[in-house]
A and B are shown apart, each in its own frame.
Chain A
């Protein structure tokens, strides 16, 4: 599944392989690890992430569930409270709505409700995002629906090395983590992944490219496109700093604020709808803490406020922001 690099300290993987390798390691290292979800067993997940796991670890640990998301999460909550380390999969983020109560009403509140007597050490993995002609039911971004909820951690790594390090952190965490995997990056993005077990802490953004004239904050697929746009602008002599948020909640306020205090301008780019999105929280946080460093209004380049991403290519393209549009938004704000 993966090609070893020459020095054997790291391996080049795509994001699917990084998820698969990390899950495999968790199953191997800890008998309490359980994977449950639709088609995770016999089918090996629709992206073949858990292919053949059921043969090696058995149907007690790799559990094919009915098409009932509330049950998938609800059962995982019970397992987690009683000592297992479940990794629940929602086949596509678009299907997570029936599980909303189990996630928000149960998992996120377990520690608080039991005054710390019970915790809920579970991971909910789900592929999200558009750009793959997934239409209404296979394109949605769900982070804003959940990031309002204290007690729930949400991460959306964009690079294979981050996927592995942060999935390990999610699995080790004693509280529920919503682990978002952008499906268009699954096979598109490849990168070196260190061998062996390691973790990347939540709440740490990654400055992918340093710059002086504008701070761009993004996550997921768009981080790659924002980086591409920023590199194009570098050739035009425009210096843009690109920050990969990685962890949506907890959010790394310090890295964002330090950057904005340097560049004095902020552009937040995300695929999710603009209204009430992650960009709204980042904007408010920056306005609250760094107003007197801002030399331009904060700008957001986000998905439009329409109910879903259409199947027709022009509709999908209209919803998504291209690297070209990102570059133009950056130019405009630098010029301001």
Chain B
């Protein structure tokens, strides 16, 4: 029985998708729920699971091609239920390989051809691979930085066992991590526009840049470019910076970090403390949580905080929803989950939508000041720069060694002026400097 697979709708507002990479080729067998194609949209890349077990008969859309949701993209010869345990005798059932043309009469009710396909397209892949993952497997995979989906399972029904994880880990980081990166590479280059030396599909997106060649744009790169130009063109950026004494909050974080990681599995960085201060300052300066519209300044009801995360090949800004309702601990876990997902390239549309303000943790590589571009449709973006120990002259004229951090704000000057922006920054500074080890996470 032939099943036609259509372009899934990867989100409520998404109307088209680009075939980023075929993970299976014509003739390859595919298991139900096994990812067989990677699709990218303007917001997200997702591996699409097969709704049936069978063999890929035909691929209807080339890599790099963009088609509307619901458009047929592949035909899979389904292995009959009875045939799954005994494939050989079942062969005649689909032997009349009635030529490619036969995909037109869609015999199977394709669950993925309408809105219902959305859930399975995004969720089922991850869920089916993780459903059988025992707590030990999850823990070991996390400890060894392995993606469970990239590990071959030897347990009952192909379950990945703890030993499988350890075996994979013992094969060395290059083997498995390489595989993980390959399978999660954001977008394979579109072949047509790169007549010269197209990187083989499955390799990392950019690989080694070769001087004198053009690197074709990935979907993600193109989107980033468009958004940046759009923001810079429409929103007049103004910029300001404050220096914040984070000595006490740093002490607090140092005191709590081991226990926190032990209890939650996530690292405790300065980020959640900073976000907590930001959302409190946004409450004090609600215009900073607004946006410019043709009708006027819209002040958002919710505080949904975007975190800019730089990946090797692109930038993503997942959003902590209702960040003002979370404690520092809750923020740390929410941010940890999003960062984890981002690194595994598993962010869904919902993770990326709805941001009202953005934080950029820019200091990891030592940046001391930066002028970030506002995420379109928001009033500002604030950065955390590197923490530096400095001699500081204090209010009583004494000199002390303190841990100092710059925080830079880019603001949409259409929405607020310097008065509000500097008030916001001063408030943020005050709040962070008040935090200390006596607080509760």
Contact = CB atoms under 8 A, between A and B. Distances in A.
A294 B156 contact: no
B134 interface: yes
A131 B159 CA distance: 38
B159 A292 contact: no
Nearest to B162: A295
A179 B408 CA distance: 73
Interface residues of A, number: 9
B137 interface: yes
B218 interface: no
B136 interface: yes
A295 B139 CA distance: 10
A297 to B, nearest CB: 8
B134 A294 contact: yes
B135 A292 contact: yes
Interface string B24-52: 00000000000000000000000000000
B172 interface: no
A295 B165 CA distance: 11
Interface in A254-295: 264, 291-295
Given A294-B134, A295-B134, A296-B134, A336 B139 contact: no
Interface in A283-336: 291-296, 335-336
B165 to A, nearest CB: 9
Contacts of B134: 264, 294-296
Contacts of B423: none
Interface in B159-206: 159, 161-163
B137 A295 contact: yes
A293 B136 contact: yes
B135 A294 contact: yes
A264 B134 CA distance: 10
Interface in B121-170: 134-139, 155-156, 159, 161-163
Nearest to A212: B163
Interface majority SS (helix, strand, loop, mixed), chain B: helix
B156 A291 contact: no
Contacts of A264: 134, 136, 162
Nearest to B161: A295
B135 A291 contact: yes
B46 to A, nearest CB: 28
B135 A336 contact: no
B137 A336 contact: no
A291 B162 CA distance: 13
Contacts of B159: 336
Contacts of A295: 134-137, 161-163
Contacts of A294: 134-136
A295 B156 CA distance: 12
A296 B160 CA distance: 11
Central interface residue in B134, B155, B159, B162, by most chain A CB within 10 Å: B134
Contacts of B161: 295, 336
A264 B155 CA distance: 14
A224 to B, nearest CB: 29
Given A292-B136, A295-B136, A295-B162, 14 more contacts: A264-B134, A264-B136, A264-B162, A293-B139, A294-B134, A294-B135, A294-B136, A295-B134, A295-B135, A295-B161, A296-B134, A336-B156, A336-B159, A336-B161
11 contacts: A264-B136, A264-B162, A292-B135, A294-B134, A294-B135, A295-B136, A295-B137, A295-B161, A295-B163, A336-B155, A336-B161
Interface of B: 134-139, 155-156, 159, 161-163
